[in-house]
Amino acid sequence: MEQANQNTYDIAVIGAGPAGAVFVKELAEARPELKIILIDGQSSDSAKPCGGLLAPDAQKLLARFNLVLPKSVLEDPQIFAVETIDIQQKLVRYYQRHYLNMDRFAFDQWLLSLVPSCVTIQNGRCTEISQGENGYLIGIKHNNADTEIKAKAVVGADGGGSVVRRTFFKPMQVQYVAIQQWFENKGQKAPYYSCIFDAKTSDSCSWTIHKGNHVIFGGAFDKHECRRAFEAQKTRLEDFLGNSFGEAVKTEACLVSSPRSMGDFCTGSGSIFLMGEAAGFISASSFEGLSSAMFSGKMLADAFTKGTSHGEVQKLYKRSTRSLRRKLRMKSIKRMFLCTPFTRRLIMKSGLQSIQPYEKSKFGQS
Ligand SMILES: Cc1cc2nc3c(=O)[nH]c(=O)nc-3n(C[C@H](O)[C@H](O)[C@H](O)COP(=O)(O)OP(=O)(O)OC[C@H]3O[C@@H](n4cnc5c(N)ncnc54)[C@H](O)[C@@H]3O)c2cc1C
């Protein structure tokens, strides 16, 4: 009996990315009497593949939390513009950007360090969730050992490949495989930060970003033959830039969601809640998702603070994320214009909102 109580929680949160960490931090501060467990198996070897760029919306949220970013989270160099390249149509434009270049794993670890000590943090991967008599049974695997816990409510903050969403709800209509390769920075030509389009190899976008002594090339590709498309695009980009990236020191991949309609957003039902990318909260035009993850985490924490039943929490949470869903729906419309070669050509040719670099001083090293 004692053992059963020890393993029973009010809320089990699967995933300690920005959505999970913010949710748990905010809720545990507001309602320390709740028994919360946060489950995640992330380590520096299995860090989330990410560009690690903190967009203005995410910066604004940190300001609203009255948080300041430690210098140790920042990466070298900081960037002021994105070089937008259409390989197939041979177009290049520069647009001003106000992003912070970060070490994504360090950012996640910093957010996690803000979680109050009354929260149980469990290392491991959630392997399955099923409905029990008075709540949910959650299977966890860690170091080849299996454990099981019980929870009255489950919060899925487990990203694009969400096991919670897969188990209980309709999947996203469109998901790509995001592949990133890291190369040693040997002075090869590669823009400090670029957004790359190449209709021949993907109907989505790719990017290069410099991080300390490394250059990252990554992109989002159709699940079918994603690796072949990635390699083909890398070769085409290398030809475009006029040099090779060299030997990759690290290759990482994960699913990334691309919401296309309001039906792709799912905040949960009953005693199961979804946040961040698991809920479909990510920009389809840029894959910016940190702001939506943190915002939805805060909104769900507020709903749990005010709601007196899981049903009421669902209602409050759905209502408070309405503006986010609308904003992200607009991003999916923007995506249509950016990812269609004809409209992209018109936008890039028009020069609208672009900046003109001075002669011989292109941004980045291309
Ligand atoms: C390649 C790539 C580049 C991106 N670049 C940017 C960028 O530059 N800027 C930006 O704002 N957004 C970017 N995004 C989007 C951003 O990474 C996500 O939208 C954001 O991380 C979502 O936060 P989250 O907390 O919802 O999920 P995640 O950050 O994905 O966190 C989910 C957590 O759940 C854990 N988890 C998953 N499954 C399980 C399980 N079964 N059991 C236990 N734990 C589990 C994972 O270990 C992870 O820690 C990028 C995405 C990709 C794929």
255 CA: nearest ligand 1 atom: 53
User: CA 175, 179, 180: angle at the middle one, nearest 5?
Assistant: 140
State the pLDDT confidence band at 224, using cuts at 50, 70 and 90: very high
pLDDT at 44 (0 to 100): 79
Distance CA 186, CA 200 (A): 28
pLDDT tens digits, one per residue of 68-116: 999 999 999 999 999 999 999 999 999 999 999 999 999 999 999 999 9
Going from N- to C-terminal start, the domains of the chain cover 2-48+103-172+261-334, 72-102+174-258+337-355
CATH number of the domain located at residue range(s) 72-102+174-258+337-355 in this protein: 3.30.9.10
State the pLDDT confidence band at 152, using cuts at 50, 70 and 90: very high
Q: Which of 128, 290, 327 to mutate to test the pocket of ligand 1 (most atoms within 8 A of CB)?
A: 290
Q: Which helix (H) or strand (E) holds 88?
A: none
Distance CA 214, CA 181 (A): 10
Distance CA 92, CA 88 (A): 11
State the pLDDT confidence band at 237, using cuts at 50, 70 and 90: very high
pLDDT at 45 (0 to 100): 83
Tell me the three-class secondary structure of 161-220, residue by residue: CCHHHHHHCCCCCCEEEEEEEEEECCCCCCCCEEEEECCCCCCCEEEEEEECCEEEEEEE
Whether pLDDT at 264 is above 50 = yes
290 CA: nearest ligand 1 atom: 11
Whether pLDDT at 118 is above 90 = yes
As a whole number, mean pLDDT of residues 260-271 equals: 98
> Which of 297, 208, 294, 221 has its CA nearest to residue 254?
221
Whether pLDDT at 2 is above 80 = no
20 CA: nearest ligand 1 atom: 25
- The pTM assigned to this predicted structure is 0.97
Q: Which of 99, 154, 158 to mutate to test the pocket of ligand 1 (most atoms within 8 A of CB)?
A: 158
276 CA: nearest ligand 1 atom: 26
pLDDT at 365 (0 to 100): 57
The answer to whether the CB of 355 falls within 8 A of the CB of 94 is yes
CA of 128 to the centre of ligand 1 (A): 19
Q: Where are the alpha helices (H) located in the chain, listed in sequence order?
A: 2-6, 18-30, 56-64, 104-113, 163-168, 226-241, 290-306, 310-320, 322-339, 341-350
Establish whether the linkage from the previous residue to 32 is cis, with ω within 30° of 0. Answer: no
Whether pLDDT at 17 is above 50 = yes
pLDDT at 3 (0 to 100): 47
pLDDT at 362 (0 to 100): 62
The percentage of the chain sitting over the pLDDT mark of 90, rounded to a whole number, equals: 93
pLDDT tens digits, one per residue of 301-334: 999 999 999 999 999 999 999 999 999 999 999 9
State the pLDDT confidence band at 361, using cuts at 50, 70 and 90: low
CA of 164 to the centre of ligand 1 (A): 14
Q: Which of 38, 42, 50 to mutate to test the pocket of ligand 1 (most atoms within 8 A of CB)?
A: 50
Q: What residues does ligand 1 touch, defined as CB less than 6 Å away?
A: 14-20, 39-42, 48-53, 55, 58, 125-126, 157-159, 163, 178, 180, 218, 254, 256, 276-278, 282, 287-290, 293
49 CA: nearest ligand 1 atom: 1
pLDDT tens digits, one per residue of 153-180: 999 999 999 999 999 999 999 999 999 9
Closest residue by CA, ligand 1 atom 4? 50
pLDDT at 338 (0 to 100): 97
Class of domain 2-48+103-172+261-334: alpha beta
pLDDT tens digits, one per residue of 276-299: 999 999 999 999 999 999 999 999
pLDDT at 363 (0 to 100): 61
State the pLDDT confidence band at 1, using cuts at 50, 70 and 90: very low
Distance CA 55, CA 148 (A): 38
Structure tokens at 64: 């609203």
The percentage of the chain sitting over the pLDDT mark of 70, rounded to a whole number, equals: 97
Closest residue by CA, ligand 1 atom 15? 289
The answer to whether the CB of 120 falls within 8 A of the CB of 36 is yes
